[in-house]
Structure 1
Amino acid sequence: GKRHHQCVTTAKCKTSNFHCDCKPPLVGKGKLGCVRPGDAVAFLQLDPTLITFGGEHLNVPLPCRYKVVHYTMMIENHIRTSVEVYAENRLSKDGEYYVKNVLVSISVMTANEVGKHSIQFEGSATDGDYNFTTTVLEDSMTQSSLQTELDFTKYTIGVSMDYIDNFIVARIESVGLTVRFRPSTSANEDAQRMTPGVVMV
């Protein structure tokens, strides 16, 4: 993205203290993401700290991949889905951890078949220019008999770019999950153009 600012577009900046407040009636973190009141939301931010759907704060200064979200749900009478979100950190030169990549995965299970769609998102930023890559790790839904049983397009992971707030966005329509990822811009947190992290709604 070419536009750089500290607050997301759904927040307003208080110039007196450079604090970002979500525009009413939205709530959340004005530098990372604003959501509707009542939405289930989790944040993975900065070095990184996970704020869970239940509001708990967990520090995850780990150099390996770790599970951030995992839930299952019945979509229709015979269709069960399992959704997982993983993150992997990198250690910066100043000893801080930042999220390096995010893996989003959905498994769809019927009485006779299991299909899976997994995509990894990685990003980098130099001088405020954000670049993202996506890698499909598995797509067995389109290669199975699931496509004869259901419209699998709503069970796959859709990917888009938010060039204003510098996020790559993954959405799974059938389960209502949106994952927004913004990478860190440098080893020095003070030099971040925008707060790095992940928002899961």
Structure 2
Amino acid sequence: MSKPGRSLRIVLTVALLYIKFLASQAYTVTTTNGGSGDVCPPGPQCLGDGKALCINNKCRCQPPEDVGLGHFLCVRSNEVFCAIFNDPTIRGYDGSYSFAPLNCKFKPTHLFVPLCDTSDPDNVRTISETDSCDVKVSAWGTRRRGKSFIRGIDVRFMVLYQGSVYHHLSRIISDATGGVYTFLESTNLAPFGSPTSGPAQNTTIPNVGQIYTEYDHTDNFARIKAEMCGVEVGIRQV
């Protein structure tokens, strides 16, 4: 079996902003109000559940996910990640930082990766030479007080497995008010290009796994996961 390299995590964060919306039946609404972990002045609060600890005034990731930004994301040493912060600042897969005043809907990443065998603990063993995942991540935002803030994300998957094609689109809009985080999620299992049209649901690929959304009630993240693709996309208000 060949190995495609490292698993990938894509994480986006949005700053506090005012979002007014009507929650129709097309959305699934989830709320969290976790308190995260160590308070670590002068920086932000660390991730909770022991994922990061405040050591010498810095949030430091702990094993087994001991690489990353301890106040935001911790990953394993064989994973890479990018992140988009407010205004927005972009942390690339190579660890470099850049600034881009992105006001409209944009595509921060587009991945084409082999389909992984999820029984492999490192999630890097491919199933075959032809099975694959096509993953497109889009984000959009708004401007307030002269700055740009990400408002929501679309994550589109097209998975090819044993001659069958599986489509999945998840859209998540996030808000934070008074310590309560609200996520509106909608999905569509139609081909690329179709908008979301119904409440949150999972996509099951027989003998391979699921594409699903997980809500972290400690650190207040919504995470769209596709372990067979080695991809995770998260969003959180700050």
Compute the TM-score of the two structures, normalised by the length of structure 1.
0.74
Distance 1:112 1:153, change over 3 A: closer
Distance 1:127 1:77, change over 3 A: same
Query: For the Cα contact (< 8 Å) 1:11–1:21, is it kept in 2?
Result: yes
Unaligned runs of 5+ in 2: 1-31, 37-44, 116-127, 192-204
- The answer for the alignment partner of 1:132 in structure 2 is 183
Query: For the Cα contact (< 8 Å) 2:110–2:135, is it kept in 1?
Result: yes
- The answer for the alignment partner of 1:42 in structure 2 is 82
Distance 1:11 1:47 in 2: 25
- The answer for the alignment partner of 1:11 in structure 2 is 52
State the aligned residue count: 171
Partner of 1:174, secondary structure, is: helix
| 114, 117, 129: which one aligns with 2:168 | 117
Distance 1:152 1:104 in 2: 23
1:67 to 2:107 alignment: yes
- The answer for the alignment partner of 2:159 in structure 1 is 108
Q: Residue deviations 1:89-133, cap 9 Å, x none?
A: 2212x2222211011111124686544211111110101110001
- The answer for the alignment partner of 2:16 in structure 1 is none
Q: CA deviation at 1:64?
A: 1.0
- The answer for the alignment partner of 2:70 in structure 1 is 30
1:89 to 2:141 alignment: yes
Query: For the Cα contact (< 8 Å) 1:72–1:80, is it kept in 2?
Result: yes
Q: CA deviation at 1:152?
A: 7.9
- The answer for the alignment partner of 1:144 in structure 2 is none
Structure 2 residue identity aligned to 1:183: Q
More relative contact order, 1 or 2 (CA 8 Å, 6+ apart): 2
Query: For the Cα contact (< 8 Å) 1:99–1:183, is it kept in 2?
Result: no
Distance 1:171 1:8 in 2: 19
Unaligned runs of 5+ in 1: 142-149, 185-201
- The answer for the alignment partner of 1:162 in structure 2 is 216
Query: For the Cα contact (< 8 Å) 1:117–1:140, is it kept in 2?
Result: yes
| 72, 82, 92: which one aligns with 1:52 | 92
Distance 1:111 1:62, change over 3 A: same
Q: CA deviation at 1:80?
A: 2.6
Distance 2:68 2:236 in 1: 16
Distance 1:112 1:12, change over 3 A: closer
Q: CA deviation at 1:28?
A: 1.1
Structure 1 residue identity aligned to 2:87: D
Query: For the Cα contact (< 8 Å) 2:114–2:229, is it kept in 1?
Result: no
Distance 1:24 1:110 in 2: 33
Distance 1:126 1:82, change over 3 A: same
Distance 1:63 1:164 in 2: 30
